[in-house]
């Protein structure tokens, strides 16, 4: 079975650090850029509000400084969100599903493919329009480190690829 989703060739070294020696990386994807819609909208809304307050209100310099500093905080938060977006990955290997997230504290959640008892994807109207979906992964165990994975690009293709790994043809000879 060929890979339907183009793997990301700019995978950070942090991903390779968590792979086992006998494990091969099948797919690595970043989350869909739609995760940045809200922080971008809030930053642009803050800019519009700060601009409106600056032009309409007859405020002294101190209050205007506070308004623009508040907007600067929104810009810094947006930059942090962009950096987090660049650092977070969903990885499918020959053995596991991995979700690597975090900037200051890197967290890697995983689930062995053999433990997956049910997996589905959902797409909201916005997800269908923009091209992302959500995976819901279930296993026989009660406490799951990996359950809901939001904003995945190419959800149908990823779903087929993961199902192909979970339900391998016994005669294929793949690991």
Residue pointed to by tokens 């005669």: 171
pLDDT tier for residue 10 given thresholds of 50, 70 and 90: low
CATH T-level topology, domain 13-31+88-166: PH-domain like (2.30.29)
Lowest mean pLDDT among 100-104, 149-153, 154-158, 166-170: 166-170
Sort residue 128 into left (φ over 0), alpha (ψ -120 to 50) or beta. Answer: alpha
Burial classification of residue 2, based on how many CB atoms lie within 10 Å of its CB (0-12 exposed, 13-18 middle, 19 or more buried): exposed
Model-level pTM?
A: 0.79
| Mean pLDDT, residues 56-80 taken together | 91
């Amino acid at each position: 079975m060929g890979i339907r989703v183009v793997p990301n060739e700019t995978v950070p070294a942090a991903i390779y650090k968590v792979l086992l020696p006998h494990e091969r990386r099948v797919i690595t994807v970043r989350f869909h850029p739609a995760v940045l819609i809200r922080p971008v909208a809030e930053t642009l809304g803050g800019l519009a509000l700060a601009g409106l307050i600056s032009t309409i209100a007859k405020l002294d310099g101190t209050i205007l400084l506070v308004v623009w500093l508040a907007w600067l905080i929104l810009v810094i938060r947006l930059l942090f969100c962009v950096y987090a977006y660049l650092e977070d990955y969903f990885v499918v290997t020959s053995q596991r599903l991995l979700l690597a997230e975090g900037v200051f504290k890197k967290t890697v959640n995983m689930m062995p493919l053999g433990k997956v008892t049910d997996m589905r994807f959902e797409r909201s109207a916005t997800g269908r329009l923009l091209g992302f979906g959500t995976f819901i992964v279930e296993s026989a165990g009660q406490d799951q480190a990996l359950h809901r994975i939001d904003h995945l690009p190419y959800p149908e293709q990823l779903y087929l690829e993961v199902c192909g790994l979970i339900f391998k043809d016994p005669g294929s000879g793949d690991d």
